[in-house]
Structure 1
């Protein structure tokens, strides 16, 4: 494996995401970049409160790069790059892992979107924007089971009185 160039992983970041009107800063001639827009789950976490206020962990070719929720612009040399994103957590250690391999041409900026899943044990979504959140069905099923158990307990308690 080759060593990355000196500016590899020095991501410039804009909090809050990006839109087509907000382009990342221009790269030096021949320099390429990968722009990742990271989106959290339910209102800043999942149904169960999984959230890392510092943002997800982004690895490019197994090298960690600075990242936060919102937009991270990662300068990379032209070529093929393996991108892996996850949110650090207690269990599982890597919540919402997702990965993709992208080819980046000279002077190209490849836009990706990472969306954390709604269910703790689901994979995240990583690819060209827009990405759909995963784990919605599992989260709704878990909520339904919880409410069903509470209703059964309420009926049992009411019958005992």
Structure 2
């Protein structure tokens, strides 16, 4: 790993470096007990909810994200270039349900699938109310 000086630039004699500043939105309480998986150019990186900063060589990068419980869901991907000394912000939001794709971009993302989640909860409430009425 290249060590930057106080200005954020690599020290003389060090290979050039840039950074991918990945923010995984949500938490163990609001999303999933297992933090989403990040692949940088196909290489799995250790992640946690919140900010994850990865030093990378300048060039073209692909960030693939997904969440996993019993199966993989919330897949999202983006491509971009990282210049020497540049920090590229990336934000990922896992969906409300396993039936939706995740959201990824250079700015904070909305959590996909809210309408589907609310519809499923409404159906569940109607079933429970129906059972209560039928039993009474």
> Runs of 4+ in structure 1 displaced over 3 angstroms?
none
In 2, Cα distance between equivalents of 1:97 and 1:77: 25
How many residues are aligned here?
Answer: 128
In 2, Cα distance between equivalents of 1:67 and 1:43: 16
**TM-score, normalized by length of structure 2?**
0.85
**TM-score, normalized by length of structure 1?**
0.72
In 1, Cα distance between equivalents of 2:110 and 2:28: 13
Deviation at 1:43, TM superposition (A): 3.8
- Match in the other structure for 1:64: 44
Deviation at 1:67, TM superposition (A): 1.1
CA contact (8 A) 1:41 1:116 kept: no
CA contact (8 A) 2:90 2:105 kept: yes
1:28 and 2:6 are equivalent in the alignment: no
* 3-state secondary structure, aligned to 1:99: strand
CA contact (8 A) 1:125 1:131 kept: yes
Where in structure 2 are there 5+ consecutive unaligned residues? none
Alignment deviations for residues 5-37 of structure 1 (CA, whole Å, 9 cap, x no partner): xx49xxxxxxxxxxxxxxxx9352531111100
Where in structure 1 are there 5+ consecutive unaligned residues? 1-6, 9-24
In 1, Cα distance between equivalents of 2:114 and 2:120: 10
- Over aligned residues, Cα RMSD in angstroms? 2.1
Deviation at 1:95, TM superposition (A): 2.5
